[in-house]
Structures are given as C-alpha cells and as structure tokens.
Structure 1
Amino acid sequence: MRLPAWLAQHLAALRALLVFTVLLGLAYPLLFVGVGRIPGLSDKASGSMVTAGSTLIGQSFGDDPRYFQSRPSAGDHDPTATGASNLGPESVVDTLGEDGSPSLLTQVCTRSLAVGKLEGVDGSRPYCTADGVGAVLAVFHADGFTGPVTRVVSVNQTATPFQTTYQGVRVEPAIPGEDYRALGGVITPIRGTAPANPVVPADAVTASGSGLDPHISPAYASLQVPRVARERGLPEDRVRELIDEHTTGRALGFMGEPGVNVLELNLALDGA
C-alpha cells in the first residue's frame, strides 16, 4: 500500500535523523578519541596534565622569585575566561576616574616597569612615562589641526605631567571625565628618551590572543635567568641549559618563533 506523501516525508526525515545521529553523534567522536590515542598525540589530546597544571595552558606563578614567570594574561590565566583584551595599537588614552580603565599603552608601560623592577633591569620603553603610563599629550592648535599651539594636556596624568612644556606651552594635567579628543585636541604620543630596543621583551608586557599561552620567548626566559639562579642557588649556566632543553623550535622549521614552555621549565627546576 502506498503511504501518503506527508507520512513518507516524515519517515524519510526520521531515518535521516537516526543515520546522522549515529554517524555524527557516535562514530565521529569515537573516531577522534581513537586518533587522540595515537602515540605522539595522546599528551595533547589528554590535555598534557601534570600535578601542577597543564603544559598546554599558561598559568601564573604568583610572582614567586624562584620561578620563571609567564607572559601577561587578559583573563588572569583563568581557563574559563580565555580571551584577549580587544585593545589595539590605537588604545593610548586612559579612561580616568573611579571606574576608569588603562589603555593598552599604559598596561604595557606598567608591566614593563614591574618586570624591570623584578629582574633588576631598565624597564623603560618608548612612549612611556617614568611612572608607568602612556606618555600622551592632547595638543590644541589655533586653527584646528594646524597653527600655533594654544593648549596642551597630559591626558593620562591627573597630577604632575611627565613634561612641563610642549612647544613653549605649559602642559596641564588631565581632568577625569574630559574627552580631549572630542574637544579638538590632537592626540600626540611622545617617544621620550628610552632605548629603541627595550631591555624588557615584548612578550613580557603583552598578553597572547587567548591569554593562556604556555610559552615565553627565549629572550624573556634569558632575562629571568639571574634572578632564578640566585634564588635557587644554582649556576646560571645550569639554568640556561634547562631553558635550552625546554625550548621548542619553529613549527615545520619556518612558522612562528621558538618558545620556552614555562611550566615544564619550572618543574625541571624543582627537580634540579
């Protein structure tokens, strides 16, 4: 007996649902579980868990001077809050006041000073003030964007500005809540006298896209060697050997940059 068209369509849809449920809900996941058990992939598939955490996820070491420190994290190394700050190169003006937030430039400046203090090196870098905020001025001209300078404001400082004058005009501190760009000020970062190549590497002051990068650059690891060796009573050469042992090269020999797995390195230090 021929089934009604509507019933035949519903039965065909039901069969398709059952087939795709088996294929995509059971067979497909089981296939990848099996692939994850292949030697060489099992560590990554299982999360590479160790007693102290996972070697695939960056974590904080609490500024303990005995340990190598990870790069910054926009989510405070919380795996459930992975993500970036979404701040880009144009983020140079802080939001001042009780509910304010620092710009990306000020975050970089603050971190650089903190790393410099921890490692006993010069933490200064271009476009940063001595007190660790973005060295940025709002410059007002008589004719909008041109003409003589009539007013200058240090937009990221509410107290003493990082420089007293600009082109002969006294620099004012900022007033919280004022939008100097909207008032006609030209936002002007000031390079300052910091070296073009800062002592503190870029990955020491910037977070990764995920906020959970488990690696740091060999340059940042090398910067931390004197402190770690001193705190642990180890020769610096021995600490550098451990860095070399836990440094991975470029993917396929040409993609990306070498990296040092911080957790593995710290575990090796504990073992040493």
Structure 2
Amino acid sequence: MINHLRPAFSLVVLMTLLTGIGYPLTITGVAKFAMPAQANGSLITKGDVVIGSQLIGQNFTTERYFWPRPSATSPDAYNPMASGGSNLGPTAAKLRDAVAANIKHLKDSGINGTLPADAVMASGSGLDPHISPEFAKAQIARVAKARGLPETSVAALVQSETVLPSLGFIGEPQVNVLKLNLALDALKG
C-alpha cells in the first residue's frame, strides 16, 4: 500500500510546489517587472501619501465632489473586504427599494432629468471606481455651485477626465471619480 501512496503523495507535493508556490511567485515577479504600477494596486499618491487606488471606488459624499455610483458592500461603502454583488434579481423588493432611495437622494440634491443606470445601481463588485460621462455631466451644476466655479470649467474638467473606449470600440466611455475629484481640487474654488 505504501508503494501506491508514495507516488501520489510525491505528485501532490510536487504540484503544490509548482502550481501553488512557483507559478504565483513567477507571475508576480514578471508583473512587478513589466507593469510595476498595476502590480502594486494602481495606487494614486499625493507626495508620499497614498490617497487611493484607480481600481477601487471611494465614498465621496459632500456637495463639493463628484459622487461615485452606489456601492453594494455593507455595512461600509466601498469596503474591499466585503466585495461582491448583492445577488438581487430584477424583481427583488430590496433592489427596487434601494434604487428608489438612490433616485430620491439624487433628485433631492438637485440632479434632474433622466438618470443613467450607474447613478442608481451598484456595480457587480460594489467597488467600481468609474462612472459614466452622463452621470458626471448630471452632477456638474451641483459641484460647480458648491465650489463657486463656472459650470463651463467643471464641464471642461469632466470632458478632459473622460476615458474613451480602448481601440475606439472596446468598453464604454468612463470617468474615474477619484482622478476627477483630484483634478477638481487642483482648480481654484
């Protein structure tokens, strides 16, 4: 019996070393060499202080900043440890109530007109750092008023921070909320 188990045990140990340790370390090393910023989390720094990541949304709530899309993580918004979709289907009362509350909040804050889906619904991970240009444009008047800036300046900033689809057709236009808010802080007002 030992003669039959020894090769199986040896194979498990070998494959664990190769696929569980060797492969991940090799890929991590290659990534850190080829794409160091991305391999280290695409962190955004101000001086020597890390203020966020381009890959994880942040919960901006004041009138002076552009707001992200709703977060599905709870109890804290944009908590990466609680990442994951809500798994609520289109007929779920909880989803319907959450969307209605988000619509009411946006309407109460002065955002009128047709709201894009990302304004009222969380992304699959609940951590999406991007919003659509339409949602950003819907917030221009509110942000400009709160900062005492001309709407044209804020609109130009939104336009400059809008990232177009890769190769012109892969993906959707999007705006990274953290980068937009940092650019907004760089404006006087």
* TM-score, with structure 2 as normaliser: 0.83
The alpha-carbon deviation at position 54 of structure 1 amounts to 1.5
Q: Which residue of 1 aligns with 2:15?
A: 20
Q: Which residue of 1 aligns with 2:47?
A: none
* 1:70 equivalent among 68, 71, 78: 68
Q: Is the 8 A contact 1:121 1:199 kept in 2?
A: no
Whether 1:229 aligns to 2:140 is no
How many residue pairs end up in the alignment? 179
Gap change, CA 1:109 and 1:34, over 3 Å in 2: same
- Equivalent position SS for 2:175: strand
The alpha-carbon deviation at position 11 of structure 1 amounts to 3.2
Q: Distance in 2 between matches of 1:71 and 1:228?
A: 16
Gap change, CA 1:29 and 1:106, over 3 Å in 2: same
5+ residue gaps, structure 1, are 1-5, 94-102, 123-197
Q: Which residue of 2 aligns with 1:47?
A: 41
5+ residue gaps, structure 2, are 45-49
- Equivalent position SS for 1:267: helix
The alpha-carbon deviation at position 252 of structure 1 amounts to 4.4
Whether 1:250 aligns to 2:165 is yes
Q: Is the 8 A contact 1:72 1:206 kept in 2?
A: yes
The one-letter amino acid of 2:153's match is: R
The one-letter amino acid of 1:53's match is: G
Q: Which residue of 2 aligns with 1:109?
A: 100
Q: Is the 8 A contact 1:84 1:209 kept in 2?
A: yes
The alpha-carbon deviation at position 251 of structure 1 amounts to 4.0
The alpha-carbon deviation at position 230 of structure 1 amounts to 2.2
Q: Is the 8 A contact 1:116 1:200 kept in 2?
A: no
* TM-score, with structure 1 as normaliser: 0.60
Q: Which residue of 2 aligns with 1:82?
A: 83
Q: What percent identity do the matched residue pairs reach?
A: 46
RMSD, aligned CA? 2.0
> Which has more radius of gyration?
1
The alpha-carbon deviation at position 38 of structure 1 amounts to 4.2
The one-letter amino acid of 2:18's match is: L
Q: Which residue of 1 aligns with 2:133?
A: 218
Q: Distance in 2 between matches of 1:105 and 1:18?
A: 50
Q: Distance in 2 between matches of 1:251 and 1:86?
A: 29
Whether 1:241 aligns to 2:156 is yes
The alpha-carbon deviation at position 113 of structure 1 amounts to 1.7
Whether 1:60 aligns to 2:51 is no
Q: Distance in 2 between matches of 1:7 and 1:85?
A: 49
Gap change, CA 1:84 and 1:18, over 3 Å in 2: closer
Gap change, CA 1:260 and 1:19, over 3 Å in 2: same
Gap change, CA 1:107 and 1:26, over 3 Å in 2: closer
The alpha-carbon deviation at position 242 of structure 1 amounts to 2.4
Q: Distance in 2 between matches of 1:260 and 1:29?
A: 32
